[in-house]
Amino acid sequence: MKHDPNTPQGSAYRNGTAPAGPAEAVRPAREPVLAVRGLRTAVRTASGPLEILRGVDLDVERGETVAVVGESGSGKSFTALSVAGLLPGGAEVTDGRVLLEGRDLVTLPEEERRRIRGAEIGMVYQDPMTSLNPVMRIGKQVTEGLRAHGWSKEAAHERALDVLGEVGLPSPRALMRQYPHQLSGGMRQRVLIACALAPRPKVLIADEPTTALDVTIQQQILATVSRLRDEYGLAVVWITHDLGVVARIADRVAVMYAGRVAELSGTRRLFTAPQHPYTDGLLRSLPTPAHPHQAPLPQIGGSPILLSDLPRGCPFAARCPHRADHCTTEEPPLLDRDSSRAACWFPRNEWTGKRLEVTGRAQDA
């Protein structure tokens, strides 16, 4: 049982003291637009506070897309809501920092924070029908946010026309007078993106925005967002469970598990040499063209973790085919692994000799 030399650095993470340095290890070049450090978010429950985010680290640079992937309960949506300051009642950030160009949004006075969030961080949700007001014309929905941020009526109107065109919607002038129900799902999603981008934010956070759309429409929206990212140098955070989407649009990927980032890698590297056994298991379980037809798919055993009942040590240990004794006693921090970072005590080359066991059995119950 060896300890990684990086351990001391990681323990700072666990304590929530959030060192500013380590996350840049993946890409040390520039100051990130958005830097999340040791972010902890908890919700009130009948049995006391439940930690949903347990120290999330993430940063996004100008002009890049970082995908945040995870399964239900991994904390990916809470990460988005915490950063955007849109947590539901009963949930609050308890520790850590959200740095937008160096300013910590967590400690900023409420009014200032609200101003910055609306104008500089745009947010898009999965379901465009529930996010748009059904009885308000499209034009009003786009200009409303701008007006709230002090734009004049005329300037807001002009900007709305521009941004509707920028997101690829035809005839913006006519569109401004329409209602959401008159638009297709894909068009509504574009309207939402236009609303988010209207104030020219530096960061766009998208929470599964294409999941409900048909795949050919999804592909069109991915193309549009990637174009806007390049044209405006947007920093994009794309929350998704779909590894196909990740492969298409992300520069880097944060894989979340049990309220923390389990792995942070460049996209290509993630797919070719995943550094965390959970990522490895996820990728193996996909039916890729290389997988023999109708042959059993390697499964990740066990059940997803319950945040209310976290074991000691690594939260993935119980399902990990490479588990060692040490894994069940101490939770690994995000450790540098070549050009990636992974919350696993062992470097990939120490466990890739083995393979995830293929079983047809249910691991449930």
Partner 1 sequence: MRRTRDTAEPPRSLPADTENAGATGGTPAIDVRGVVRHYRSAGRGTVHALDDVSVRVERGRVLGVVGESGCGKSTLARLLTRLERPDAGSVEVLGARVDTAKRGALRRLRRTIQLVFQDPYASLDPRQRTGAALAEVLAVHGLPSGPDQVAALLEQVGLVPALAERYPHQLSGGQRQRLGIARALAVRPEVLVLDEPVSALDVSVRAEIMNLLVKLREELGLTFVFISHDLGMVRHFADDIAVMYLGKIVEVGPWDAVSDEPLHPYTKALQAAVLLPDPAQGQGGVEAVVTGEVPDAAAPPSGCRFHPRCPLAEDVCRTDEPALLPVPRVGAAGTPGSGEHRLACHVMRRRLAEAADAAQSPSQTTADTAGAAVRVEKKTGE
**Positions that interact with partner 1 (CB under 8 A):** 71-72, 184, 186-187, 214-220, 222-223, 226, 241, 243-244, 247-249, 267-268, 271-272, 281-282, 285-289, 291, 293-300, 303-304, 360-365
Q: At what angle do helices 153-166 and 138-148 cross, to 10 degrees?
A: 120
**CA 92 – CA 83 distance, rounded (Å):** 11
DSSP 61: -
Cβ proximity to partner 1, 7 vs 363, nearer residue: 363
Q: Which helix (H) or strand (E) holds 205?
A: strand 203-207
Q: Which is nearer to partner 1, 9 or 226 (CB)?
A: 226
Q: Given the complex with partner 1, which of 4 and 64 has the nearer CB atom?
A: 64
Minimum CB separation of residue 218 from partner 1 in Å reads 7
CB of 106 to partner 1, least distance (A): 30
Shortest gap between Cβ of 170 and partner 1 (angstroms)? 10
Nearest CB to partner 1, comparing residues 7 and 184? 184
Minimum Å distance from CB 299 to partner 1?
Answer: 5
Q: Which is nearer to partner 1, 282 or 344 (CB)?
A: 282
Q: Kindly state the smallest distance separating residue 169's Cβ from partner 1, in Å.
A: 12
Handedness of CA 160, 211, 214, 130 (dihedral sign): negative
Determine the Cα–Cα distance for residues 118 and 120; give it in Å rounded to an integer: 6
- Taking every pair of Cα atoms in the chain, the longest distance, rounded to a whole number of angstroms, is 67
Compute the least distance from the CB of residue 52 to partner 1, in Å. Answer: 17
Provide the minimum distance between the beta carbon of 20 and partner 1 in the complex, in angstroms, as a whole number: 30
**Nearer to partner 1 by C-beta: 93 or 187?**
187
Q: Which residues lie closer than 8 Å to 82 by C-beta, 6 or more apart?
A: 39, 41, 53, 56, 93, 98
Q: 137 to each of 161, 177, 203, 328, how far by Cα in Å?
A: 13, 6, 26, 56
Cα(356)–Cα(351) distance, integer angstroms = 10
Distance CA 229, CA 233 (A): 5
* Closer by beta carbon to partner 1, 93 or else 213: 213
